[in-house]
Chain A
Amino acid sequence: MRWATRTGPHVDRTASAWLIARFLDPEAQFVFVDDPDEVPPDATPFDIRGAELSHHGGECSFEALLRRYKLDDQVLWAIARIVHEADLDDERYDAPEAAGLDVLLRGLSMVRGDDEVLALSAPLYDGLHEYLKRAALLGREPA
């Protein structure tokens, strides 16, 4: 399946793409566009104005994906809180990791193209997921 988002992906778009590829559509192909009108008809848009899988009610696109596909998993929601704060910085959640993640992704998008940013950020989110999973199991920060 094809998925479309805006070019120059930062934290919300990279995290959403990772979520899609890992949990929703292993065959996912991503298309980057400059304007919502350029979304190909066969592609599902995300983190783009007017899309269902986008910002709604003060939530970011990653959260919209979790809700839409009922991915009711506490570790994914823990990632969602970090992504929310990195993207919106509205202090809804306590997520000190957010600022660092945001800077890393912004920097990455300065030195690599869109596809490469997705490829390079995916293992980061794999690691973040594993870390938060262990933290949830242990009830404390894993070593």
Chain B
Amino acid sequence: MTEIDAYLTAHEHKTLLRFITCGSVDDGKSTLIGRLLYESQLIFDDQLVALAQDSKKFGTQGDELDFALLVDGLSAEREQGITIDVAYRFFSTDRRKFIVADTPGHEQYTRNMVTGASTAELAVMLVDARTGVITQTRRHSYLVSLLGITRIVLAVNKLDLVDYSQQTFDQISADYCTYATQIGLPEIVCIPISALRGDNIVEQSTNMPWYRGPTLMEHLETVSVGDSGHDAPFRLPVQWVNRPNPDFRGVSGTIVSGKVKAGDSVVALPSNVITQVSRVLTADGDLTEATAAQAVTVVLADDIDVGRGTVLSSVDNPAQLADQFEASIIWMHEDPLHTGRQYMLKLGPVTAHLTISAPKYKLNVNTLEHLAARTLTLNEIGVCTVTTDHPIPFDPYAINRDMGGFIIIDRLTNATVGAGLLHFGLRRATNVHWQEVDVTPAARSALKGHQPCVVWLTGLSGAGKSTIANQVERRLRDRGAHSFLLDGDNLRHGLNHDLGFSEADRIENIRRVGEVARLMADAGLIVLVSLISPFRAERQLARELIGDDRFCEVFVDVPIAVAEARDVKGLYAKARSGQLPNFTGVDSPYEAPENPRVHIDTTTTAAADAANLIIERLTTMGVFVDPRSSS
């Protein structure tokens, strides 16, 4: 066998370690990564030439090479001298390939660190030997422990600047271990280094004869990895149904924990149907057994209902099902958490609509104090009750990252606005059941001689919503249709008297009105809702609650100047003078509907004509078709 064949065989059996480096701006993180790349000889000559040029232009090391410039990718951040996003770097040794998530140390970027930590198995915490453990070290350590990383290296850097003092190193190590124990981090490996000078990176440093432990690279090469999850219960979240022809039907996905073989009984969640695995398939042939992290296609013995988002699970130890949870939420967007708003949850291939309650508390990650909070803003972490619109299969995050870690998506902008860790299902979700009833909404509707429907009038204060709603209701009465008017102002005297005008209260206001309107529609009525309802997301929530086919959104459109000139209730004047905060159109936004069923321009349409337009629209929607004659 030639040398290269031997090399190839060795490389074929290399394992993979994904780790993150954490530290604050001046701890020398980029220098350390640059050094690791350099030492593993992954810096090519042309890159060295570019580095030498860049070192002169941007460098902070005089005439010496500035390794940090190797890893600071985007030109904007080079100029600012800070890393602004997560970057992934690669290097390999004879034993192992490494993927490093280079996460920024700047105070504002918790988001990026959490992102980098989510796929890492080990964390290197960097501290400057001159400053020791600082606030940011504690913050990063907390995040690492929250994200469930159990392998920690404390790299005390810049030992060259403290005369390679053992006493300094021992003191910092002791300080850190005390803190680590407090937050539940397991055993820590402490290594004294100088990334700039190369001490204890690859070679044992001659400057620190008192240190006898492994060098950083030795430790990274030998620490055990990648075997977690094999002994855990079997979980396969289904990504895709594989159906090339009528004779073959398989389900494809990545096993996130445990193992599976042909003949195993599995339960499909959430349907709770038990079946057997008849084949475990890959393009390289059928497998006798497949384990965690393998991407496979499974053929089931029975033709049961399985699709994207189904989780195949071991029968003895299945995943739990719930629709209400306690969860840690990490907020990652400039637009803060709107409690009560409907977001989208994505947990692997599982998706659901998600609402998040006001935080039980938010965390001061520096002191670990619990603080009262009504919402979460960018980079804040809190514990909340979260509710999904249907039960989803899950395991607690602490037990299974891939079954308990989810992202939160804004349904209008599609931005990823946060991340969450499911801790446990709340009893309420599993114990509250729907009571089946004999008299259905359809049966009640049949008594009325018309279809139920919700006419939702939205628009600025003073647009004329109530005037128009009133006229519509009179016409409905004249036709013998049974209606009810829910007026925003009137409801605030009773049902909603406890709510103010903050964004959170407005969202709750609309949720309640939406629920009441739905109940009335189920009772068979034509419901008129007259409500400013300024946010698209909440009107969308109401639409989904009530059902698109019986929801008629009416945009009562008026320019703000006209509404303000009318100012029937004198509210605009108050708002302008600062007596009424959060007033829609003044200091709180109004998001106009994009595709209302009826759009009324009140500068050109009189209330009576507007009412006629709405009645016409209800007619074309089939509201006045007598259910008794059509069935």
A and B are interacting partners? no
CB within 8 Å of B: which residues of A? none
Where the two chains meet, the residues of B that have a C-beta atom closer than 8 Å to any C-beta of A are: none
